Structure 1
Amino acid sequence: MTCRNAMRLVFGFSTALVLASPLPLAAQDSPGPMFSTPASRSTTGAPILIDPNADGNGQIIDSVGGKTQTRPAGTSDKAQKPAQAQPSMTGAAAEQFKQWALQCVELGKEPARCQISGSTLSGDGKQVILVMSLAFRPDGKTVAMQMAVPLGVALKDGVKINVAGGYEAAMALSRCTPQGCLVEGAVEPALVEAMKAKAAATVTVATPEGKAIPITLSLSGFSDAYTALLGRHADAKKASSN
């Protein structure tokens, strides 16, 4: 896959970006997938936060490879707006900051939109089991997060995140797609500061049987990636005001 094609997949409502990452991703010690759902359904991909036409959860999201689509729960074919032509997109290769990457795309004449992503692979390196992505919301004022965990987790238990004692919180799962179940929402400044200062975070999910499954997310390079995201956002604001 070329860098250009990878960018089209990512920013064209796809979730397969992390599979094209130029550097090895952090891996769990487990020998393989932690959940029993088929790999074709349980493999998570990089969540997309920068859809220029939506500021919520109503957009259609392509599955891995862009072959199928899934709608958030509670929507129907009749409720969906007629499909609109996608704006022309051009993008550059992702900037790598150790285990985190910055990806940007230019949508026609609009300023570039960017996100940063970090991921974790299963021990055998065949499955992405966790993805966290951060990006500015379309209003340009707040940073939003999407975190994808594998299908097969206990939804009512949500997700617990612990950033090496620097930040700890329980987060609800908002919805599931064929690529995984998602935590979505605004990012607390305390979480960002902890991620900048610590080496790793532990994201814990639970199986339906109640077994806690900790997943380690490397934060190596996060601080530099976040600084780069802020810089790109400032550049975009300046460009839009000219």
Structure 2
Amino acid sequence: MNQTAEVSSKSSNSARNKTSTATTRILLVEDEAALSTLLTYNLEAEGFEVESLECGDEAEARLDESLPDLVLLDWMLPGVSGLEICRRIRAREKTRALPIIMLTARGEESEKIRGLATGADDYIVKPFSVPELMARVRALLRRSRPDRITGLLTAGDLSLDRENWRVHRGERHVHLGPTEFRLLDHLMGRPGRVFSRAQLLDGVWGEAAEIDERTVDVHVGRLRKALSIGEEQDPIRTVRGAGYSFDEHFGK
């Protein structure tokens, strides 16, 4: 896997953050330990509750006990394959509507068709970037469980609409480029948490290896200029020697 997102610790969401992922449960079935750890930490950093398993037999038994809100399922697993688990999930009334994203190294069109025909809602080929996977998880949850994840973040007079890619400061529409929008989304979704430049590069750009860390400073500067005009309070906090964060007390 292209491990472009640095492992990050779990953080709590502000009460003002209306993206209700904190009670959203994801079952991750992946036998590659390093990848499982990477995805678990990044999903938890997004506010999801994650349970990780290594084989298909364990996943099937766990689904009999409790249903998650979404399953991330590797195709190649020891014991029962991910493809067979997907087929069994769709064959049972209790789990028929359970959202499934298949993770696989099989990139051929015929294999993608096979995975989707078996019942996967989405299909992502390794190697992939973690930001892309997170976007697919949020998109599938918005479609399948709109009560669990919405597209609106708010803090003070600032609002970010993920669905329509719009940001407002009170009645003022804030014009942001795609990178500045993703940067604000990343920071605003985890208020108070300090991100290093390397973490922001990994989480926002997804391909950090070929981008200089000072690029973050440039885009943070552009974001601040767009967000704060005149006497408006700057919601972005610089932590000397550490990085940047969204001020958890903004607007209070």
Higher helix share: 2
- Structure number with the bigger relative contact order (C-alpha 8 A, sep ≥ 6) is 1
Based on CA coordinates, which of the two structures has the bigger radius of gyration? 2
TM value normalised by structure 2: 0.26
TM value normalised by structure 1: 0.26
